[in-house]
Amino acid sequence: MEDGNETAVAALSTKIRQRTARAQQQVFHIAQASFLINVFGLSFILDVHLNHDLLSSNYMEKHFNGEGRSLLSKGGEHCYYQGKIRGVVFSVVAISTCQGLHGMFGDGNFTYLILPLRKSSKQDKEHPHAVYRNTGLGPAIRPFAYERTSLKQDPDVKSDVLRTISIKRIKRMIDTKSAYDETKYVELAIVNDYFMFKKHHLSLTHTNSFAKSVVNLVDAIYKEQLNTRIVLVSMETWTDRNRLVESDDPLHMLHLFMQYRQQNMSGRSDTVHLFTGRTFLNSRSGAAFVGSICSNAKGGGINEYSNPEGMAVTLSQNIAQNLGMMWEPRHSADDSASCKCPDKWNGCIMMEDSGFHLPRTFSQCSLVEYQELLQQGGGACLFNKPTQLLQPPECGNGFVEHGEECDCGSSAECEKMGGNCCKKCTLTHEALCGNGLCCDSECQLLSRGEVCREAVNDCDVNETCTGDSSQCPENVHKQDGYWCNDQQGRCFQGECKSRDGHCKYIWGPRVVSADKHCYEKLNVEANEKGNCGKRDSSWIRCQKDDILCGYLHCSSIAWPPRVGEMDGDITKVEMYKEGRYIDCSGGHVMLADGMDLGYVPDGAPCGHNMICLRQKCNAIRSLNLTACPSNTEDSCSGRGICSNMAKCVCDHEWAGSDCSIYDPLIMAPLPTEKPIPGPSAANIIIGSIAGAILVASIVIGGTGWGFKPAPRRRDAAQGPI
């Protein structure tokens, strides 16, 4: 670190107005601003804009009074900005301005942290700040682009990951446009425990602001490389007491927290994360379930307290695990290593020991693992865009609001998509749409029936344009229970589940499920080589009806597993049947979240109209699925697919809620008249988006920053009856 000196300027503020509504005072901040930072002999101009995707319109905050009664409030102060360093292409800025400048910015060589210091007195108009930077100099970093073609063009991508993706699947991943080009949205709920509340001196405002700052940093990381936004939908703070049994084991805490979510949190979210002020004794700074992003039972994680930047790394890692990304050894920072981390100095986000530095890039392995989760259908909930926070209409925030015909976002976003169709939130000449998957390059609406989001697997469905909207319909998949993979598996939560598929996932594409004889003979023995789970220290014997749902037996497996780590040795048994020897092999393969992959997965078929659930063979009807409408005995009148939303997705040329109406597609001429525009909001907000050059007073920090490292091994995810 370099030494510096202190300067004093007027207090910083981006507030522009206050409104009183329902006895609550609402504070607004300017849409854009610029900050001049003179530090370490350099000058940085931070050009930032409000992060309009940070909070959804239904964002709620919850806390508890002294009697334990919950109190709800909607909205909250939004002072969270993102942007770039002027003139630096591969830079990133994520700051908050509620109480001075707080956040980080990176120029590709260094990552800088800025935070406000305590004023000498409340009357002091000057607000000193401190800036820190990491101590090593590396090359300017250009993160891997999130491109479909990266799988095909990069010969050095980790081989054991690519082996699991067949040539047919790779081709489909490259050809399928929308699943990877379309922006994904992780709807995140945060819970602050009482220890976290105490860390912030029992201040609800400071606790919630801290959490929002962390999420804003994480969103900047995910947006930059993965085309994925992190959106806060709710925040709960335990202001009276902790609501979980105290534990120093993060995995135990994770399971307790997921139980709390299912029993006490009813709001919609893709994943829920606990921010805790506890310190875990086993050096883990967090824990999360792997590949569980859309699961109400396992979509979540826990994160140990640190400074905002350190906690942002932990949250980035834990959300990445929810998205199917695995831990990597530190040596993957070497360009010759299989995972290819582009940042040799800071390392990549999913490295085991990324503790001291502040990584903001994902390795090639992480990109492939995320793509694989999407391809398998595990990210079906990520394609539905939340609505923005209710704020004054603002041209350039990416949301079409009252008085606007279109809004393609910031100038940089408009250059990528929609800029030719939309100028200053008004449609250009002869344009019928501004942007969206159902708006073509000539600014015209795609016809009804045009596919706007292709199915990614056998359990997904194509979404098609309606002909009167530029937006692709909500992403849905087949209802649980449909056959898939040539009737070898059943659809379950958007994925095709089977014993064969699970063997391939763990051990590689050449491995198949063992002969049924292995399950019949071994899973009734109640030992390490055959069982239906474990209770305390005793193996559970499979009942006769459950043998196909117990310990997973595969054929031709080889060490090591492609995901997770072995708990013990491979169990290998050869059995003689009908003149030949059959291979019955398996293994207890553990993920970081404590899950044992060595069992038949939920959703795999185990009999006629039966599927496995928690090592038991159950009737599909026991899922209590809502039936889709129909005018025949068949679902959707036999002319469509019943979706997970219990709505019919009709076959080509059929329509109606039950797909009973023959409705051939007719290419109608496009309308020639432009929609009548309402009063434009562009002029209204010009004053507020102009921004201000605000000069931050700086105290050059004399030390670096750090957070608790999290060393871990690499690990990991016919119609219904």
Q: Is residue 553 part of a domain?
A: yes
Residues with Cβ within 8 Å of 429's Cβ and at least 6 positions away in sequence, in order, are: none
Q: Which residue has the higher pLDDT, 610 or 8?
A: 610
**Which one, of 51, 55, 56, lies nearest residue 32 by Cα?**
51
Residues with Cβ within 8 Å of 398's Cβ and at least 6 positions away in sequence, in order, are: 52, 53, 388, 407, 408, 409, 410, 413
pLDDT above 70 for 577: yes
597-627 pLDDT per residue, tens: 999 999 999 999 999 999 999 999 999 999 9
**Which one, of 374, 325, 373, lies nearest residue 178 by Cα?**
374
Of the pLDDT bands very low, low, confident and very high (cuts 50, 70, 90), residue 697 is very low
Residue 132 three-state SS: strand
Mean pLDDT score of the chain: 81
The residue from 623, 645, 674 where one domain ends is 623
On whether the CB atoms of residues 461 and 484 are closer than 8 A, the answer is no
pLDDT above 60 for 356: no
Q: Report the C-alpha gap between 517 and 549 in whole angstroms.
A: 14
Q: In percent, how much of the chain has pLDDT > 90?
A: 50
On whether both 520 and 375 belong to a single domain, the answer is no
On whether both 344 and 487 belong to a single domain, the answer is no
Q: Is residue 390 part of a domain?
A: no
- Structural domain range at position 285: 15-382+692-700
Q: How many residues does the structure list for the chain? A: 721
* SS3 per residue for 113-124: EEEECCCCCCCC
Instruction: Give the pLDDT confidence score for residue 504 in this predicted structure.
Output: 94
What single letter denotes the amino acid at residue 145? A
Per-residue burial over 45-58, b = 16 or more CB atoms within 10 Å of its CB, e = otherwise:
ebbbbbbbbbbbeb
Q: Is the dihedral of CA 717, 514, 171, 487 positive or negative?
A: negative
- Strand ranges across the sheet with 483-484: 483-484, 489-492, 495-497
On whether both 617 and 513 belong to a single domain, the answer is yes
31-86 pLDDT per residue, tens: 889 999 888 889 999 999 999 889 888 889 999 998 889 999 887 778 999 999 99
The residue whose two tokens read 């605000």 is: 694
On whether the CB atoms of residues 56 and 417 are closer than 8 A, the answer is no
pLDDT above 60 for 712: no
Q: Is the peptide bond before 359 cis (omega within 30 degrees of 0)?
A: no
**Which alpha helices (DSSP H) does 204-304 contain, by range?**
204-226, 250-264
On whether both 604 and 696 belong to a single domain, the answer is no
Q: Report the C-alpha gap between 320 and 302 in whole angstroms.
A: 13
pTM score: 0.79
Instruction: Give the pLDDT confidence score for residue 203 in this predicted structure.
Output: 93
On whether both 362 and 259 belong to a single domain, the answer is yes
Q: Is residue 29 part of a domain?
A: yes
Q: Report the C-alpha gap between 498 and 606 in whole angstroms.
A: 9
On whether both 696 and 586 belong to a single domain, the answer is no
**Residues 623-652: what's their mean pLDDT?**
94
285-302 pLDDT per residue, tens: 889 999 999 998 899 999
Residues with Cβ within 8 Å of 193's Cβ and at least 6 positions away in sequence, in order, are: 238, 242, 243, 244, 274, 275, 276, 277, 278
Per-residue burial over 135-146, b = 16 or more CB atoms within 10 Å of its CB, e = otherwise:
eeeeeebebbeb
645-694 pLDDT per residue, tens: 999 999 988 999 999 999 987 655 555 555 545 444 433 333 333 344 44
CATH number at 266 reads 3.40.390.10
Instruction: Give the pLDDT confidence score for residue 379 in this predicted structure.
Output: 92
Instruction: Give the pLDDT confidence score for residue 681 in this predicted structure.
Output: 40
Q: Which two tokens stand for residue 79?
A: 């002072």
The residue from 623, 646, 674 where one domain ends is 623
Instruction: Give the pLDDT confidence score for residue 256 in this predicted structure.
Output: 94
Instruction: Give the pLDDT confidence score for residue 388 in this predicted structure.
Output: 62
On whether both 378 and 488 belong to a single domain, the answer is no
The residue whose two tokens read 């196909």 is: 548
Q: Is residue 555 part of a domain?
A: yes
Q: Name the burial class of residue 683, with classes exposed (0-12), middle (13-18) and buried (19+) by CB atoms within 10 angstroms of its CB.
A: exposed
92-108 pLDDT per residue, tens: 899 999 888 888 898 87
Residues with Cβ within 8 Å of 408's Cβ and at least 6 positions away in sequence, in order, are: 398, 414, 417, 418, 419, 421, 422, 434, 435
The residue whose two tokens read 């749902």 is: 549
pLDDT above 80 for 512: yes
Task: State the DSSP code for 527.
Answer: B
On whether both 374 and 496 belong to a single domain, the answer is no
Instruction: Give the pLDDT confidence score for residue 695 in this predicted structure.
Output: 42
Of the pLDDT bands very low, low, confident and very high (cuts 50, 70, 90), residue 159 is very low
Q: Report the C-alpha gap between 81 and 680 in whole angstroms.
A: 25
Kindly list the distances between the CA atom of residue 708 and the CA atoms of 89, 181, 594, 694, in Å, as whole numbers in the listed order: 31, 35, 21, 34
Per the structure, the count of domains in the chain is: 2
Of the pLDDT bands very low, low, confident and very high (cuts 50, 70, 90), residue 719 is low
Q: Which residue has the higher pLDDT, 707 or 125?
A: 125
Kindly list the distances between the CA atom of residue 583 and the CA atoms of 164, 510, 557, 577, in Å, as whole numbers in the listed order: 21, 14, 9, 11
Q: Which residue has the higher pLDDT, 371 or 267?
A: 371
Neighbours of 160 (CB within 10 A): 13
Q: Is residue 284 part of a domain?
A: yes
Q: Report the C-alpha gap between 506 and 492 in whole angstroms.
A: 18
On whether both 87 and 236 belong to a single domain, the answer is yes
On whether both 605 and 696 belong to a single domain, the answer is no
